[in-house]
Amino acid sequence: QFVESGGGLVQPGGSRRLSCAASGLSLSLISVGWFRQAPGKEREKVSCITSAGDSTYYADSVKGRFTISRDDAKNTVYLQMNSLKPEDTAVYSCAAGYGSACFFGDDFDSWGQGTQVTVSS
């Protein structure tokens, strides 16, 4: 299971780091994806890191602004978000991915409860 943290209110252009702490799961055996969902919109896969930790995925909407990373000692995946925009406002969740889920399909489970990020002045 995952527990997300780090959300909150941030001004446009600001930064925020989200954490996704895993329990009962070894990050070396799964991919971990970050997703977001804004009110009235479909869930969007924002970023993903593979089980080997050597490949990452970013949605075009966040490429160059967000960075995903992993700390195996803490069993935690992070999402560093820079140059935040109002359209980044959403509930951000993480989940475990299998196979090629980072890049194809949507084979994810063990969803966390999510953390709200609001970008507003």
**Mean pLDDT computed over 4-31:** 95
Measure CA 94 to chain center. 5
Residue 3: pLDDT over 90? yes
Residue 24: pLDDT over 90? no
Q: Give the per-residue pLDDT at 4.
A: 97
Q: 42-51: long-range contacts at Cβ-Cβ below 8 A with a sequence spacing of 24 or more?
A: 44/90, 45/106, 46/79, 46/92, 47/79, 48/97, 48/101, 48/102, 48/103, 49/77, 49/102, 50/102, 51/27
- Measuring CA to CA, how many Å separate 45 from each of 74, 92, 120, 121? 23, 10, 22, 26
The model's pLDDT over 33-43, given as tens digits with 9 standing for 90+, comes to 999 999 999 99
The model's pLDDT over 51-92, given as tens digits with 9 standing for 90+, comes to 998 999 999 999 999 999 999 999 999 999 999 999 999 999
